[in-house]
């Protein structure tokens, strides 16, 4: 199958140059023109895609070669862009910043995989002619990357723009003014979520006035077609009735890779979203609790009627998989401004910290006795400002070859049929088959 949807990668010179705001504003400007815009984010980010999804009305997908492989990037892109007029991929960090000091999983790497032209966002604050030296370096650093245009951000005045515009190393596609009140607030894990701020969406009006949208679309149309490699999945499962996997989704738990949800569905699960904050007794045969901000909603989680219901289900043997925020919620307590009681399923407590305890890609396998055999690989990412203190030794279901996990490369604290891990995993087909099979077995009890 060939894919030829117009596409661009919005990259930046560095983190903080305004790339997320520009990319989101561009999405909003094109949506306002009546276009179907499919958004993407390179790397393992959960927060920026929430803004993309709100703006475009289409679920933003992660494109991460470390977790998905290059073939996985192509397949996810092709599947998600069906019916789209244009695809916009927001890069992560600086254009050539990948894992471990390489360009692997960088915006440049993703652009090469997708055969997509790149538009570079540069921060022009407090600089004029010298910015062209920076642009020249980005242009020549990797000739495999098509650097097709520049969007200058934080332009201070017409005179400032005129000084920069006297020379042109790469075509200028936008001149975005410096706005004092145009930045989205951040917290310890990054920007606030989309439901907490509409500034990204509102920035579309600024992009309409300051960027050459016609030329940007023309650049996107230059992307070359590529062949989509065949996947290894066997298609949609014919399980009937389909076991229900409840996915916790509310203000406390909102970090999910959409591909994970889709794969669970294809493996035979009925996906049913619920809120641990508000739902007392959701009907389900297994539970997936993703990451998020349980520490910000600890009081509500402590008071929730869901706790007792869930504890009973766990004692009955219901399969449960929690990651990062989900792991924290599965523990006995979370210590923030005070100690809050949590689900008390895993024999450990969570303590919030001022510095991040782990950051980077994770790789390993399931180990020991759990719902997932040792043949099932684990790939993902970890990033958290908390530590989990286990009672006694603790039993772990994952052994990481790369990454920190809960302690010294051990992750996946387990009790009953419950596993809680710091790893945000990118699910494999094998993982999903075993999870759905466990849900099916529990539903027959």
The helix/strand/coil state of 78 is helix
Sign of the torsion angle spanned by Cα atoms 320, 325, 327, 329: negative
Residue 90 to residue 21: CA distance in whole angstroms? 10
Before 383, cis peptide (omega within 30)? Answer: no
Catalytic one among 324, 331, 390, 432? Answer: 324
Cβ atoms within 10 Å, residue 165: 12
Residue 290 to residue 154: CA distance in whole angstroms? 36
Sign of the torsion angle spanned by Cα atoms 125, 130, 133, 135: positive
Number of helices and strands (H, E) in the chain? 14, 27
* 324 catalytically annotated: yes
Residue 75 to residue 62: CA distance in whole angstroms? 12
Strand partners, 341: 333
CB 18, CB 124: distance < 8 Å:
no
Compute CA distances 66 → 45, 52, 113, 149, 361, whole Å.
13, 22, 13, 27, 8
Instruction: Name the residues annotated as catalytic.
Output: 324
């Amino acid at each position: 199958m060939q894919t030829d949807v117009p596409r661009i990668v919005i990259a930046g010179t560095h983190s903080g140059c305004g790339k997320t705001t520009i990319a989101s504003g561009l999405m909003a400007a094109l949506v306002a023109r009546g276009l179907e815009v499919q958004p993407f984010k390179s790397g393992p980010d959960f927060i920026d895609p929430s803004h993309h999804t709100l703006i475009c009305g289409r679920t933003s997908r992660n494109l991460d070669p470390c977790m998905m492989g290059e073939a996985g990037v192509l397949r996810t892109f092709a599947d998600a862009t069906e019916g789209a007029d244009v695809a916009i991929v927001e890069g992560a960090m600086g254009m050539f910043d990948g894992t471990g000091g390489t360009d692997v999983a960088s915006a440049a790497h993703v652009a090469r995989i997708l055969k997509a032209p790149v538009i570079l966002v540069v921060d022009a604050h407090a600089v004029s002619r010298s910015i062209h030296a920076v642009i020249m370096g980005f242009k020549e650093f990797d000739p495999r990357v098509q650097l097709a245009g520049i969007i200058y951000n934080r332009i201070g005045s017409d005179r400032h723009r005129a000084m920069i515009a006297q020379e042109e190393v790469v075509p200028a596609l936008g001149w975005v003014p410096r706005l004092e009140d145009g930045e989205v607030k951040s917290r310890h894990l990054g920007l606030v979520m989309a439901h907490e701020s509409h500034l990204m969406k509102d920035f579309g009006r600024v992009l309409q006035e300051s960027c050459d949208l016609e030329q940007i679309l023309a650049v996107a149309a230059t992307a070359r077609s590529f062949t989509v490699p065949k996947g290894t999945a066997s298609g949609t499962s014919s399980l009937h009735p389909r076991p229900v996997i409840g996915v916790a989704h509310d203000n406390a738990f909102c970090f999910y890779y959409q591909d994970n949800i889709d794969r669970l569905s294809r493996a035979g699960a009925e996906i049913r979203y619920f809120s641990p904050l508000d739902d007392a007794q959701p009907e389900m045969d297994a539970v997936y609790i993703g990451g998020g901000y349980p520490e910000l909603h600890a009081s509500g989680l402590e008071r929730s009627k869901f706790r007792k219901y869930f504890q009973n289900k766990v004692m009955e043997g219901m399969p449960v998989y929690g990651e990062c925020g989900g792991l924290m919620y599965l523990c006995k307590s979370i210590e923030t401004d005070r100690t809050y009681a949590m689900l008390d399923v895993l024999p450990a407590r969570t303590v919030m910290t001022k510095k991040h305890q782990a950051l980077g890609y994770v790789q390993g396998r399931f180990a020991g006795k759990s719902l997932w055999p040792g043949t099932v690989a684990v790939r993902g990412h970890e990033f958290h400002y908390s530590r989990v203190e286990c009672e006694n030794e603790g039993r772990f279901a994952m052994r990481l070859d790369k990454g920190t996990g809960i302690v010294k490369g051990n992750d996946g604290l387990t009790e009953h049929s419950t596993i809680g891990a710091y790893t945000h995993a990118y699910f494999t087909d094998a993982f999903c088959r075993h999870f759905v099979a466990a849900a099916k077995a529990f539903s027959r009890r």
